[in-house]
Structure 1
Amino acid sequence: MENIYLLMIVALAVLAIVDLVVGVSNDAVNFLNSAIGSKAISFRTIMIIASLGIFLGAVFSSGMMEVARKGIFVPENFMFSEIMIIFMAVMITDILLLDFFNTLGMPTSTTVSIVFELLGAAVAMALIKISVSDTETISDLSKYINSDKALEIIMGILLSVVIAFSVGALVQFLTRLIFTFQYEKKIKRFGMIFAGIALTAITYFIFMKGLKGTPYYGDLKTLLTGNELYIIAGSFILWIAISALFEKLTKKNSLILVIIMGTFGLALAFAGNDLVNFIGVPMAAYHSYEAWVASGTAADAYSMGALSAKVPTEPGLLFIAGGVMVLTLWFSKKARTVTETELGLARQDEGQEKFQPNLLSRLIVRGATSVNNGLVAVLPKSTVEKMNISFTKPALTIKDSKKDAPVFDLIRASVNLMIAGVLISLATSMKLPLSTTYVTFMVAMGSSLADRAWGRESAVYRVAGVFNVIGGWFFTAISAFIAASIMAYIIYLGGAAAIAILLFFAGVLLVRNYITYKKKSKVTAEADSLKRSESSSIQGVIEESADNIAAVAKRSSSIYTDAIIGLSKEDLKTLKKSKKGTAKLTSEVDELRDNIFYFIKNLDESSVGASNFYITALGYLQDMTQSLEFIGKASYKHVNNNHKKLKFNQTRDLLELQSAMQLLFDNVNKAFVSRNFDEIELVLQAEQSLLENVSTKVQRQITRTRTEESSPKNTSLYFSLLMETNDLIKAVMSLLELYYKEYDSSVPTAKVNHNNNGDSVKTIS
């Protein structure tokens, strides 16, 4: 029997390492976003600074381990065998849940997940004990669960959402009011003072208050207690001096120093607070196993009161955990996927939004707009004008729309890091497992709101996004509680066999999610993705747009082929692939249209006419995607609803048309990839015969409908596909004609080259 529990300890150790990997992948969003979003320092430098913070935070984090051992349940009322079931259920659930959120790219709370998993598994085991007891009833559940402490933790987590959002919004509003968006001049005069205040706050709360949660505080307590004011004053003077020296030596803004230290401090606070979420349970299991072995008592007779006592620090385990966390930070691509969600919701500029608006977001934005209008009417006009001057953003250029452009400026990044670090460190000093995800996310959202990043054009999307993320947090809590309860019950019933099956199942799911994520990443980074036009001259726009036309032609060929082939074979998988391809292409074309503002702003005075070409070309691309979208959806709906299969003649005609369309798209792609002007002309010449081909097929179907057709659904689908294909051909031809005419008028003489056969060929240069 002892060997079974030893194997469970080994399994928990492996699960701890896996949990560290998936946990850091999710929580990297907490300490990387501000530095990444501001582009103040290189990504490599950010990673080095964060790695140092994580490693040191992990080594100093042992004071938080109490939560996993006795914070949620009363250990002396459980036997060793029962405690091991609770711990095993918690770890399996935690890994699967966090990996699920990582795969979706959604930041969730590792603290909430571990707290509710412990609560769920403990409640399940307590109910099992009560059910087999002759003397206990459901009212005795309270003696197994540390309800006061659990409620304190849960309320602290929920309260942190409101506090983080409010404090982040208030501090950002005051900071922006002082420095404005045109902060360069004021930073030269007051930047060192602001940096001194920010760095002093970071230093005091993270290094002073944060130390209270570690076993090293006792050695420093006499030195720190009673000298707080001296430490604050000394830190302020020291940081001002360091900021001045930094500016003089590097010729850079002192806010960069705030971001460097803030990233380090936030990573330190994160590791100190959140390491318990990843290894607290396995460490508690290991200490339980040691106590049980030393007792010599049977596993189902040994009460776990030993967990209520102080446990010595395990520096070696903390050292290993810190190393695993650092390696994960460097090598996990999922960590970077999760950061994109928060950065998208916090960015200063408008653009493609990840989330769709809903009724709640519309109502809140409408209500907030009304309140804002009311405040503006009440406040003195001079005050409103001064505030508007402070919040007037610099003129936007095409550089602001580039993917590598800063998401927000150094002022907001500094506020985010300072406030989040302070709040997390306060919680750590009070030994509360505060959700670092909730705090950093809500601080970022509060500062975004105060900074007017949520304008009338983006607010409804951003608010919807925030509610989606918060909804995910509640889903985390509920699903963690239920899943851990079920896991605990399954393990109780099945014993070692159930544990083996669950571990195998968890491994399969992790591998499957990894493979799915890898495939998804490859699709996202495909070479045929559309690119924004960044040229300021008409010839440059034509050249850049040629790449997009070639890419659209190639992808349209694949989408159309999948739709027709999938319909002819009644293959839902192929039809789904066509729909997904269309959705992605439509999204990219919409993103190009959203970029029109920046495109026009960037044009040379002599090339303003290029805007007409660019806008018209995007219109034709949108027409193409709409036709492809209809073809894909109609075909999928027909097959998915199990309607009659198309007749042989209909299928044959559609496959003939598919071959002709594939040839058309291939010729377009070839012409634009090679920049061969003569081939574009040849494609245009084939337009009429292709349209006549569609018209002939329409006439055939009319005849069939009058004489032999018996399915209204088939007839409707077939005519719809032909009409949309007709519109698709016209959109392609209009696009080619536009390009042909615009190129012909923008290039006085075409360059003449010779192909391998010796024929002269005009090419785009």
Structure 2
Amino acid sequence: MDIYTFMIVALAVLAIADLVVGVSNDAVNFLNSAIGSKAVSFKTLMIVASVGVAFGALSSSGMMEIARKGIFVPGEFVFDEIMIIFMAVMITDILLLDFFNTLGLPTSTTVSIVFELLGASVCMAILKISADNSQSLLDLGNYINNEKAIEIILGILLSVVVAFSIGALIQYVARLLLSFNFNEKPKFYGAIFSGFAVTSIMYFILIKGIKNATFMNDSIKAFISGNTEIVLVGGFLFFTLASFALILFLKTNIYKIIIIIGTFALAVAFAGNDLVNFIGPTTGAYQAFQDYTEAHNTLGVLATEFRMDSLANKIHTPTYILLIAGLIMVLTLWFSSKAKAVVKTSVDLSRQDDVKERFEPNFLSRSIVRMTIAASDSINSMLPNAAKRVISKQFQKPVISAAIKKEDMPAFDMVRAAVNLMVASVLISIATSMKLPLSTTYVTFMVAMGTSLADRAWGSESAVYRVAGVLNVIGGWFMTALCAFVAAAIMALILYYGRGYALAALIAFAILVLVRNYLSHRKKSKELKEEDSLQRAESSSTQGVILESASNIANVINRSNRIYTNAVAGLATHDLKKLKKNKAQVEKLTDEIEDLKDNIYYFIKNLDEPSVNASNFYLSILRYLQDMAQSLGYISNTSYKHVNNNHKKLKFSQIRELKDIDITLEELFANTKNAFMSGSFDEIGAVLEKKHDIFNSISRKIQKQVERTRTEESSPKNTTLYFGVLLETKDLLTATISLLEEYYNSHDATVEPATAAASNNVEEEE
């Protein structure tokens, strides 16, 4: 097997891997609206999306030309150089996308492939220019398709502004007409909205995108293309009347139908537009290989001499390749776990209600929010009061029943989901029909952000966080472009000089990184499933809150036990890695407790009038949990700092005493956890009886250290660390005991009246 055959095999394998990695990243593009609105079941959504992806893949043949001649001029390169360019692009692409997937951030596969092709071809062009004394860097334009490359890059950048603006405008108009109480509006409102939405989607999918479909009959294409106005008007009337009939006679929720059709359409648009990102370089390399093999066999042309003018011709990608690619995309859609993490980022940033924000506000996000508020106030001041009242009424959010759990609530309603899908699919399909590889990630994400803004989802409570999140994601996109360009250029340079050895080494490196990231992601997912995550209280009665809190307390106790043990073990062995991991565990626990505190407002709102006392109990429990986390944080941070600064190890006697305390606390925590998990509250009383013995044990150890300090201790750092750990252990124990006493007393106070009431009822019956 020669090096070029090996390259083709490697590119085929990389294309399959890139499809898996790419779909994991891009599933957010067509799933976020339907998932966020919870309009249909996840299984139904996946079936619809799968059919759409398969259909879109079969209609993407024309887009493959972008990889072959959209960025560089193929006739200026020989077969050997073309293969290096495509190889560098595919290796870079799969590593870059997998990196972003692992972080759970949506990035643009289109931007990746465009800038990788640009980076690799620029590198190869510079190498050719440097080897030719008659050329200079000014001749670089001969090798790069400047006009098309600039058109593609500008299209990608403009899509950010266009998608955001159009999404916001359409959503604002839709909300003015339909309001948040859209189900109570006259039936023809929904029918007209449905007719407009479905016609828009069908027009761009069937009319604009149909000319790229290899399986569609030419006469059908000609009829649709020649009678566009008739098809549009007829389609609008048909879909409006059909929607009205469904609403009137079958009581159908027409917005669900729009979301299903929109998800299908966006999946079609995604696959039709983005498939080139995953298999374009491979199909280009395969066709170049076929042309070179034929020329080599007939004319004996060498790979370093055969110019690739043939790639500039119009070539249709074989249908079987598109079919295989579509099948792989569908399977990935069903089985990828990384896709869910990427979807979560987009849904959370467009959520209508409050959510634990993932991003911290920054100077730019604060400035943008201030300027937007100022502009909004200026516009409002010019509107008449009557108009303000009408607008305010249309944007008034319905009261959601307190009985509905927060995780069961949709992130946004079905009107916004329908607009997201309609606008995004139309914009992407327009770009596909113009053979512009528009970034579906940019479009869908920015449409979702625009509709969120128009829907007033970014209120004063969340605006700075949401804007910061959008800026972070956009910043990540531009970082993708820079990384893609530089990395692909470096890969091309390595392959050019290293040849077969470099190729084998780079493929081995790519496999190693992918396997490592996969195992790391699976391990992290497993840890998250096993982690004792804290749950928000949903009950509206005191007794219910007490029972729900038992699970949280057991979880905190269990994690506290593990954190304290790891801190002592890390100090004993001077294990910096363990202490660093322990520090991260404490931070995670603290964040979860903070999240529970942030939910206090909704918790109190949810309480029944007679059960307002539950708020006092819940607040006390949270205070003690926070005290425990603070003590653990101090112990973990000071231990890490001590070892990280390479200070002296603790003495053997100090380690032994800490181990004794750890064993005592471990027994205490284990008994406490069992009591809460089993619901046997008598065991809590047994735990409380031992508190004096434990406190006395710690006090004796503090006294011993005082005596050691006066007679034999020679390290101020060790003394400070040891006293700090002992005193914080005492505070940790105090908070734990206080929590147990609060729980024990509150449980008795609610159970006894209930028992007494039951006894009275029995006596009355007798």
- Measured against the shorter chain, the TM-score band is over 0.9
In structure 1, which of residues 436, 441, 466 is the aligned counterpart of residue 440 of structure 2?
436
TM-score between the two structures when normalised by the length of structure 2: 0.95
CA deviation vs aligned residue, 1:188-242 (integer Å, no higher than 9, x gap) = 3411111111111111112111224445585445313342221111111111232
Distance in 1 (alpha carbons) for counterparts of 2:25 and 2:94: 11
Map of 1:229 onto structure 2: 229
In structure 1, which of residues 671, 687, 708 is the aligned counterpart of residue 712 of structure 2?
708
Distance in 2 (alpha carbons) for counterparts of 1:378 and 1:3: 74
Instruction: Give the letter aligned to residue 69 of structure 2.
Output: K
Instruction: Give the letter aligned to residue 201 of structure 2.
Output: I
- CA apart distance, 1:399: 5.2
Say if 2:366 and 2:464, in contact at 8 Å, map to a contact too. yes
- CA apart distance, 1:398: 4.2
Query: Runs of 5+ in structure 2 lacking a partner?
Result: 756-766
CA deviation vs aligned residue, 1:492-516 (integer Å, no higher than 9, x gap) = 1111111111111111111100000
Whether 1:259 and 2:263 are equivalent positions in the alignment is no
- Structure 1 residues 66 and 438, CA gap change in structure 2 (3 angstroms): same
Say if 2:64 and 2:317, in contact at 8 Å, map to a contact too. no
Say if 2:159 and 2:442, in contact at 8 Å, map to a contact too. yes
- Structure 1 residues 160 and 666, CA gap change in structure 2 (3 angstroms): same
Say if 2:283 and 2:317, in contact at 8 Å, map to a contact too. no
Q: Residues 107-122 of structure 1 correspond to what in structure 2 (within 5 A)?
A: 107-122=106-121
Say if 2:59 and 2:209, in contact at 8 Å, map to a contact too. no
Whether 1:324 and 2:328 are equivalent positions in the alignment is yes
**What is the RMSD of the two structures over their aligned residues, measured on CA atoms?**
1.8
Q: Residues 683-694 of structure 1 correspond to what in structure 2 (within 5 A)?
A: 683-694=687-698
Whether 1:452 and 2:449 are equivalent positions in the alignment is no
Distance in 2 (alpha carbons) for counterparts of 1:105 and 1:712: 45
- CA apart distance, 1:270: 0.4
- Aligned length in residues: 751
3-state SS in 1 of match to 2:572? helix
Map of 1:124 onto structure 2: 123
- Structure 1 residues 34 and 217, CA gap change in structure 2 (3 angstroms): farther
- CA apart distance, 1:750: 9.3
Map of 1:394 onto structure 2: 398
Distance in 1 (alpha carbons) for counterparts of 2:737 and 2:492: 63
- CA apart distance, 1:125: 0.8
- Structure 1 residues 658 and 601, CA gap change in structure 2 (3 angstroms): same
Say if 2:54 and 2:330, in contact at 8 Å, map to a contact too. yes
Q: Residues 160-199 of structure 1 correspond to what in structure 2 (within 5 A)?
A: 160-186=159-185, 188-199=187-198
- Structure 1 residues 370 and 307, CA gap change in structure 2 (3 angstroms): same
CA deviation vs aligned residue, 1:53-91 (integer Å, no higher than 9, x gap) = 000100011010110000000100101000000000000
3-state SS in 2 of match to 1:262? helix
Map of 1:294 onto structure 2: 294
Map of 1:334 onto structure 2: 338
Map of 1:641 onto structure 2: 645
* 14-23 vs 221-230, which moves further: 221-230
Instruction: Give the letter aligned to residue 612 of structure 1.
Output: N
Whether 1:598 and 2:605 are equivalent positions in the alignment is no
3-state SS in 1 of match to 2:534? coil
Map of 1:144 onto structure 2: 143
- Structure 1 residues 359 and 206, CA gap change in structure 2 (3 angstroms): same
Instruction: Give the letter aligned to residue 289 of structure 2.
Output: Y
Map of 1:80 onto structure 2: 79
Say if 2:122 and 2:140, in contact at 8 Å, map to a contact too. yes
Map of 2:523 onto structure 1: 519
Map of 1:467 onto structure 2: 471
Say if 2:3 and 2:500, in contact at 8 Å, map to a contact too. yes
Say if 2:71 and 2:145, in contact at 8 Å, map to a contact too. yes
Whether 1:732 and 2:736 are equivalent positions in the alignment is yes
Instruction: Give the letter aligned to residue 156 of structure 2.
Output: I
Whether 1:574 and 2:578 are equivalent positions in the alignment is yes
Map of 1:760 onto structure 2: none
Instruction: Give the letter aligned to residue 223 of structure 2.
Output: L
Distance in 2 (alpha carbons) for counterparts of 1:726 and 1:386: 60
Say if 2:78 and 2:304, in contact at 8 Å, map to a contact too. yes
Distance in 2 (alpha carbons) for counterparts of 1:211 and 1:597: 52
Say if 2:58 and 2:213, in contact at 8 Å, map to a contact too. no
3-state SS in 1 of match to 2:112? helix
Say if 1:58 and 1:271, in contact at 8 Å, map to a contact too. yes
Instruction: Give the letter aligned to residue 19 of structure 2.
Output: L
3-state SS in 2 of match to 1:302? coil
Distance in 2 (alpha carbons) for counterparts of 1:700 and 1:472: 55
- Structure 1 residues 4 and 529, CA gap change in structure 2 (3 angstroms): same
Say if 1:181 and 1:390, in contact at 8 Å, map to a contact too. yes
Map of 1:539 onto structure 2: 543
- CA apart distance, 1:472: 0.9
- CA apart distance, 1:400: 5.7
Map of 2:319 onto structure 1: 315
3-state SS in 2 of match to 1:106? coil
Instruction: Give the letter aligned to residue 362 of structure 1.
Output: R
- CA apart distance, 1:277: 0.5
Say if 1:397 and 1:598, in contact at 8 Å, map to a contact too. no
Instruction: Give the letter aligned to residue 286 of structure 2.
Output: Y
- CA apart distance, 1:557: 0.2
Distance in 1 (alpha carbons) for counterparts of 2:740 and 2:472: 42
CA deviation vs aligned residue, 1:363-421 (integer Å, no higher than 9, x gap) = 22222223223333333233223222222212344456522321100010000000000
Map of 2:57 onto structure 1: 58
Say if 1:99 and 1:510, in contact at 8 Å, map to a contact too. yes
TM-score between the two structures when normalised by the length of structure 1: 0.95
Instruction: Give the letter aligned to residue 241 of structure 2.
Output: A
Map of 1:756 onto structure 2: none
CA deviation vs aligned residue, 1:580-636 (integer Å, no higher than 9, x gap) = 221222222222222222222222222221121112211211111121122111111
Instruction: Give the letter aligned to residue 103 of structure 1.
Output: T
Instruction: Give the letter aligned to residue 227 of structure 1.
Output: N
Map of 1:504 onto structure 2: 508
Say if 1:291 and 1:306, in contact at 8 Å, map to a contact too. yes
3-state SS in 1 of match to 2:64? helix
Whether 1:357 and 2:365 are equivalent positions in the alignment is no
Map of 2:33 onto structure 1: 34
Instruction: Give the letter aligned to residue 276 of structure 1.
Output: V
Say if 1:349 and 1:400, in contact at 8 Å, map to a contact too. no
Say if 2:61 and 2:316, in contact at 8 Å, map to a contact too. no
Say if 1:533 and 1:544, in contact at 8 Å, map to a contact too. yes
Instruction: Give the letter aligned to residue 224 of structure 1.
Output: I
3-state SS in 1 of match to 2:517? helix
Map of 1:677 onto structure 2: 681
Map of 2:16 onto structure 1: 17
- CA apart distance, 1:248: 4.7
Map of 1:586 onto structure 2: 590
3-state SS in 2 of match to 1:225? helix
Map of 1:761 onto structure 2: none
Instruction: Give the letter aligned to residue 254 of structure 1.
Output: I
- Structure 1 residues 249 and 290, CA gap change in structure 2 (3 angstroms): farther
In structure 2, which of residues 661, 665, 687 is the aligned counterpart of residue 661 of structure 1?
665
Map of 1:748 onto structure 2: 752
- Structure 1 residues 399 and 322, CA gap change in structure 2 (3 angstroms): farther
Say if 2:25 and 2:107, in contact at 8 Å, map to a contact too. yes
Whether 1:385 and 2:384 are equivalent positions in the alignment is no
Say if 1:213 and 1:428, in contact at 8 Å, map to a contact too. no
Map of 2:760 onto structure 1: none
Distance in 2 (alpha carbons) for counterparts of 1:313 and 1:675: 65
Distance in 2 (alpha carbons) for counterparts of 1:37 and 1:187: 25
Say if 2:537 and 2:548, in contact at 8 Å, map to a contact too. yes
Instruction: Give the letter aligned to residue 326 of structure 2.
Output: G
3-state SS in 2 of match to 1:748? helix
Map of 1:720 onto structure 2: 724
3-state SS in 2 of match to 1:152? helix
